[in-house]
Chains A and B, each alone.
Chain A
Amino acid sequence: MRTWRDVARYHLVMPWAILLIPWAILAVSFIVNLVIFSLAPVGHHEVLTSQGLVQVANAAHNYTGGVASIYILFFAIGTSIVGRSLPFALTLGVSRRSYYAGSAALGVALAVADGLALAALQAIERSTDGWGAQMHFFQVPYVLAGPWYLTWLTSSVALALLFVYGMWFGIVYRRWNLVGAAAFTAAQLAVVLAAVLLVASANAWSSVGHFFTGLTAAGLTGLLAGMAALLLAGGHATIRRATV
């Protein structure tokens, strides 16, 4: 446990790389989007209500997807944890297992903290009617559209998933270089393809479709958590024989 703490300290020896950069990128994305939203008015359409014809904002156009940037950053940080930081950590006498566990723990902690911040920002967004420009940056239809605690949970799980995925990718690259990384990606695509073929052959599209539409945001979060656990195990298995 003490080693985990030391590993976390090690990653945070220059804090801004891990703590601030995701937010810096997110801030840039946010500002760009906000500027665009302020300049270009949202489309309206007419709706017949008890008060007569009313102009209603087109909800569908308010979502930007810019919040994805922070998720992508978490993936990138995950890979650099292995690429740039693993070699010296091994020299410092940290075992691969401890390094992996400590780094993953840090990633999860960051995911939970940043997820909370995202949920808070979402709350602010709702109360300011989209930052005064009807922009839905921190609200994402279906996934990040519920109560704040659910947003927190889903965001945290998603961030953690991407972090762990990034780590596994980094480990694969370290062990088998570009060829390995390409093979890894190809293997994942193959798995997806196989699943699709399986569903198609069993003509089970409707049941699959029902499953997904019937899945609540909470259910989806559970699914993501399961995937994260799988990726965690995968990364752990792969790092055991990694050399630097």
Chain B
Amino acid sequence: MLLKEAGLVREMAGLDEGTPLFAQIAERLAEEIADGGLAEGERVPSMNELAAFYRINPATAAKGINLLADDGLLEKRRGIGMFVASGARRRLLAQRRERFAAQYVEPLITEAARLGIDTDELVTLVRESSQAIPVPAPGGVTV
């Protein structure tokens, strides 16, 4: 159904041991929204559907959904279910951008420093790599 269409079935199975399950559920849903797999206004899987799929307690799944709902990324429609709120994708991508520096750039610089690569050399490396790796154009979402 929804998850299958998103083509993430294999990825979705198997949660890890390190973080609370509800947080992982929330994270995965957020990723699906950010990647465009779940469009704005589209229905999000119910807590029972998520529970059955991941083989976890429905209460845990509900906690994950509520986490996103509390952040305003999901909205509840009485009697029907949870839907992706408008502007959710934009907000998630903005969050990712903010984290980008801490998550990717800083480690890059630290490791480069350890190996004795200075900033100019680093920039050259980045340019070379970006020519070798095709970078998709931003999906029409301006932040």
A contacts B directly in the complex (CB < 8 Å)? no
Interface residues of B (CB under 8 A from A): none
Interface residues of A (CB under 8 A from B): none
